[in-house]
Structure formats: structure tokens, C-alpha cells
Chains A and B, each alone.
Chain A
């Protein structure tokens, strides 16, 4: 158990809908990362937050947005869903997210499996 929790574990929805994925980082970790894992693209970095502020952005679609709340949990919002958004979405956390200038081990949550029908 990494200490990172994600809800829900599974989500089935229809095209055009909007969903929210939730992540709680390990106790003491200030940085949260979101990753998407699909069959054709593999693992891709979406976005990173550090202590409530966006720190880095990757291949995140405009239909997707995220935020990190004062209690450090994070939510990833996916809207106008398409079939191609079906994937595993992972959240990971680390202590300082590179703010110290050093690379850090990231601890991954169990993932949310999204199926868009």
C-alpha cells in the first residue's frame, strides 16, 4: 500500500459526459501528479500540482482540468468525454515535487479505470 488513495476504482460512463476523479496523497506529500495510461499511448504525464499551485503541464487536453485543494487532495475533471478517453488514470505523490531541485520517488495510487461507452 503506497498510501495514495484514488476514488472511484472503476467508472463507466457515456460519451459527452463529465466525470471527476479524486486523489489523496500520502501523508506529508505536497505534490500530486496525474498520469493517463492507455493501450495506444502508454503512460503519459498530464499535470502536476505542488501545495495547491499548478507546477507543470503535460499532454493534458483542454477538456480536462485539475486542481489541488488546501487539504492537498486533488481532483481531475474530464468533460465532453470521448471513446478515446477510456484509460487508466493514475495519481502519484511526492514530498516536494522537485521544488528542492532534486528528483524524488513518486508513490502511485491504485488508479481509476475509466470506460467511456
Chain B
């Protein structure tokens, strides 16, 4: 069993839909990261959170430390949101990350 599990693996949505991607982890962490990887390959950090909720534009990330679970929500989805979304956890004194397998999101117009 992977230390970081994401669901779903693939997600197709219509433009304007509300999207939720889930991440569960089994290790102790200091923070959880949500990353976005576009088809060209580049990786962008969206959020780093250790408790509660963060919002940036149409993106919202939440984390429940007790349940070891995080969600990434996208409101009013748009085709430009199409990408792979990757959950990663970090802990200890080194900041190294353990990654989930990613969720491939396709938003159709």
C-alpha cells in the first residue's frame, strides 16, 4: 500500500463543474502539498498546508490531520484547469516529499 493515495486516478468534468480530488496518507507529516503538472511537464506548487483550509482563486485545499485526509476543490472548472494534480506529504527535518500517483483531470468545454 502506498503511503500517499489519491482518488480518483482519472477525472473528466464539464466546464463549470465543481471538482474534488482526494488524498489520504498513512505517515506522520508536517505539511501536505498540492502540486499541478501541466501536459508540458512543468510542476507548480499550489498549496502547502498543515491544518484547516486555504483558498487561492477558484482553488480550495482542506486538510484533516486526525483523519489523515486532504481534499483539493476546484470551483467553476475551466478547460485550462486540465492537468495532473499531485498530492505530496512532507515531514521531519529534511522537507523531502512523498508523492501520490496523481489525478489526471480533463475539463471539457
Contacts and interface: CB of A to CB of B under 8 A. Distances in A.
A94 B97 CA distance: 12
A94 B31 CA distance: 15
A106 B101 contact: no
A94 B96 contact: no
A45 B4 CA distance: 14
Contacts of A97: 94-95
Contacts, number: 71
Nearest to B88: A43
A111 interface: yes
Measured as residues with beta carbon below 8 angstroms from the partner, the interface class of chain A is 20 to 34
B44 interface: yes
Given A33-B96, A48-B94, A103-B31, A110 B48 contact: no
Contact of A45 (B48, B93, B98): B98
B95 A103 contact: yes
A22 interface: no
A2 interface: yes
Given A103-B31, A103-B90, A31 B95 contact: yes
B42 A106 contact: no
Nearest to A31: B95
Contacts of A55: 94
A90 B30 contact: no
Contact of A103 (B41, B48, B99, B101): B48
Given A98-B94, A99-B93, A43 B45 contact: no
Contacts of A33: 95-97
B50 interface: yes
Among A42, A103, A110, max chain B CB count under 10 A is at: A103
Interface of A: 2, 31, 33, 35, 42-45, 48, 55-56, 58, 88, 90, 92, 94, 97-99, 101-108, 110-111, 113
